[in-house]
Structure 1
Amino acid sequence: MPHRALARAVTALVALLATVLGVVLVPGTAQAATVNYVALGDSYSSGVGAGPYDLSTCLRSEKSYAPLWAAANAVTSFRFPACGGAVTADVINSQVNSLSTSTTLVTVTIGGNDAGFADVITSCRFGSTTGCVNAVNESKSFATSTLPGRLDATYAAIRNRAPNARLVVLGYPRLFETNYCGLLAMSTYKRTILNEAADLLATIIADRARAAGATFADARPFFAGHGVCAADPWIRDVSGVIEAYHPNAAGYRYGYLPALNAVLG
């Protein structure tokens, strides 16, 4: 059969199949993929710091990166069980119940509360330098010895409930700039060792995420220059007990959201 006749025959066959299947094929276009998105994790996913919050005790905000991404990408479905204060056990024991075999995308921030984030920050902000150093060292010891196993179990639980989903693990930002920012600010030394602890935590989370076949989204480059003590901070200082040292609305929109977009394309 001549090439042109063969091409016409193939085109006619495709058109017939499209009619039978009820699908309209337009050259140069494709049907939008189904995206069933579930956002798991702790306060850095629920949106603590951004406000306003829902009526639950989880402090979920529509200004967090997860609902922002869901709205921008017109997802098929979106579930948001992320909860302020969550640890790995909360994800494993309850949050994964929002997953299913139809889930196609999962994001999560987790591990900071397991490593004692709140206690370390409190020790450093209001305690002595020695107390801060001890708290940081204790947290780093936990992060290197115990946290990896907890992360492995968490990612495995997610995989078990959502075997067809892409898993994106987002890290935590460095919280501080180390320039001078007033007599009442935390010392430069304290801020420096807290940032070093954040780097260690990011390294551990990234390693375990990759071992689980997940994608790691590093938030640190996107928050660089916008930590506490910056001219334009995206991290809250001690402006609120619950919201302290969490991203503000700009941090979720201009820090976390671009970090997620960078790995999802």
Structure 2
Amino acid sequence: MRRRTLAILTALAASGLLAAGIAPATAADDPPDGAAYVALGDSIAAGTGNLPYVDTDCMQSRKAYPQLFARAFGIDVASSACSGATTADVLTEQLSHLGSDTQLVTITAGINNLGWTTLLQECAQDESSLACQAATGGAFAALAALPDDIGLMVATVRQHAPNAHIAVTGYPMLFGQVATPCSIGAFERTPVKVTAAQAQFINVAVMQVNGAIAAGLAGYALEYSQMTGIDANVSFVPLTGTFAGHGLCDTGDRWISGFVNGAPVAARSLHPNSAGQRAIAELLVEALG
């Protein structure tokens, strides 16, 4: 089914029904029955932090993986991805490009349900602080609900795009193996160093988010097939293996930016850089091709 999805997109590109390009489509650009390829999600899908932006409100970059993936096939992408988006935001703000002609939807969403930015800011500095403990408590509650949130999000996308393959990515772990305190930039002019315990805490949190996303998608797929008797036409695309060796404090080239001060570049903090976005796009080409 995944090969069929990319075969359709490639055929559309070859026939001229889709124009090559990397700029996100607007609602006015969409055909009445939906764009062929639609990207949804949060700052990872938006490519936040990688200038220049094609949408400054959502910090949506020309170097985001959906744009790079689309370029590989000579097609357009209609991207609604927006920095800070939760799964609820996907449902309320990002479905306008979908329709019966939509053949592929890629989604990166879920981690912001946990209040991820607050969790990182508080716990990267002092995991024993009251602020970190409060953020952690809220994150655990959201994590427990995340499989259901993912299932609802995918089910709703399916209602709006009944013929599409839906590919949901996971998240990369931020850190490699940290043996000694490692500098990852500065936050509010204060240098930030991460200990092995802090790096492990954050990596475990990402692993738990990835597990919840995979579980939610698997649960949806099982229920869909039981109700309809056909395959759910969804896939989970993990990123952890691809990013191995390229995290912060890691042995290879960094594919994730550390803490960065000053607008507009501060938004790149703890996000995949341009090399990381390229790696995600290449993984999707391999996984869906």
TM-score, with normalisation over the residues of structure 2?
Answer: 0.75
Q: Which runs of 5+ in 2 are unaligned?
A: 1-7, 14-35, 184-191, 222-233
| Amino acid across the alignment from 1:117 | W
Please say if residues 68 and 257 of structure 1, whose CA atoms lie closer than 8 Å, have aligned partners that are also in contact.
yes
Map of 1:229 onto structure 2: 249
Please say if residues 86 and 113 of structure 2, whose CA atoms lie closer than 8 Å, have aligned partners that are also in contact.
yes
Deviating more after overlay: 209-218 vs 61-70: 209-218
In structure 1, distance between residues paired with 2:250 and 2:268: 18
**Is 1:202 matched up with 2:223?**
no
Map of 1:53 onto structure 2: 53
Larger radius of gyration: 1
Distance 1:176 1:136, change over 3 A: farther
In structure 1, distance between residues paired with 2:109 and 2:9: 34
Map of 2:18 onto structure 1: none
Please say if residues 136 and 197 of structure 1, whose CA atoms lie closer than 8 Å, have aligned partners that are also in contact.
no
**Is 1:258 matched up with 2:266?**
no
Please say if residues 105 and 165 of structure 1, whose CA atoms lie closer than 8 Å, have aligned partners that are also in contact.
yes
- Report 1:27-38 matches (<5 A): 32-34=10-12, 36-38=36-38
In structure 2, distance between residues paired with 1:191 and 1:31: 40
> What's the offset of the Cα at 1:90?
1.5
Higher strand share: 2
- Percent of matched pairs sharing the same residue: 33
In structure 2, distance between residues paired with 1:42 and 1:192: 24
In structure 2, distance between residues paired with 1:54 and 1:168: 23
Distance 1:32 1:205, change over 3 A: closer
Map of 2:112 onto structure 1: 113
Deviating more after overlay: 63-72 vs 207-216: 207-216
- Which of 229, 239, 242 does residue 267 from structure 2 map onto? 242
In structure 2, distance between residues paired with 1:31 and 1:164: 13
| Partner secondary structure for residue 193 of structure 2 | coil
Q: Deviations over 1:86-145 (max 9, x none)?
A: 11121111211110100000000111111111011011123343444553354133212x
TM-score, with normalisation over the residues of structure 1?
Answer: 0.81
> How many corresponding residue pairs?
233
CA RMSD of aligned residues (A): 2.1
Map of 1:20 onto structure 2: none
Please say if residues 234 and 250 of structure 1, whose CA atoms lie closer than 8 Å, have aligned partners that are also in contact.
yes
Distance 1:127 1:181, change over 3 A: closer
